[in-house]
Amino acid sequence: MWRRARGWWRPAVAIDLGTAWTRLADASARLRVDAPTVATERSALRSGVIVDPEAAVAVLAPLLGQVRRGVGGGVRVLAGVPSDASPVERAAREAALRASGAVAAALVPEPLAAAIGAGIDVGGPYAALVVDVGEGVTDCALVGEGRVLAAGAARIGCADFRRAVAAERGVDLEAAERMLRVEGVAVIAPLADAALAPVLALLAELSAHRACEVIETGITLTGGGAMIPGLGRRLTEKTAVETRTVARAHECVVRGVAAMLPAADALGLWR
């Protein structure tokens, strides 16, 4: 209790540690950092989770160092994590944050943060379904009552889409990215369906009551992959549920984590 009381005054920041990009925001949800998640040509994350702890620290430490210098002391970090992350993968993320200079750290489910960042009232009368398509993982969750009610994920994301296009068309990844952004989901249809499979599985398991709520509220598509032309339409075709894509979809997770910072204090999440 003394550790918690002693640290309550320390500033806190939100971090979206993604496979391709790391984003940092303050409690006002103002984006302060948007930097590649790459250190000395080493990938810190793969499929949404840390695979190289040293590379993760090399990315995070300078960012948290900037914050610490700005406030003149320690900083607490609230970070997103994929809903299907194992205890070992969660522990690796917390350890990387602490090794990078965080005096306290806590993790929240990324699809819950994405829902909040997209403007969904997660404490409202109806549950809502959010699908976050990131660089390394497609994460979906039914959110309501202020929490994740059900979730599913596929370790498939934009990186896999680009590699598939590059292999099929015989081009490099940059050219594959351009093709993907122009031709859209048509060039990755089978792989896109595999990424969206957890959404169908989650819907199939819902009670009639929850399914009706989802039909009422629709599906919200977030993440960098949400900007792939036709992906939202394909999700609607597969689920028969209206899908909307929000503005600045790639920032939804960090905005949502930032909005959750006051709750982290109230709920005593810091460790």
Q: Which residues pair with 133 in a beta bridge?
A: 138
152 DSSP 8-state letter: E
Level-2 CATH architecture, domain 2-109+253-267: 2-Layer Sandwich (3.30)
Are residues 140 and 130 in contact, defined by beta-carbon separation less than 8 angstroms? yes
120-245: CATH topology is Nucleotidyltransferase; domain 5 (3.30.420)
User: Whole-prediction pTM value?
Assistant: 0.92
List the domain boundaries for the chain.
2-109+253-267, 120-245
SS3 75: strand
Blockwise average pLDDT, block size 10, the chain, 271 residues: 48 93 85 80 90 93 83 84 97 96 95 97 93 97 95 97 97 96 95 97 96 96 97 97 96 95 83 77
**pLDDT at residue 70, rounded to an integer:** 62
**Shared fold status for 2-109+253-267 and 120-245:** yes
Q: Give residues with Cβ within 8 angstroms of 146, minimum separation 6.
A: 122, 123
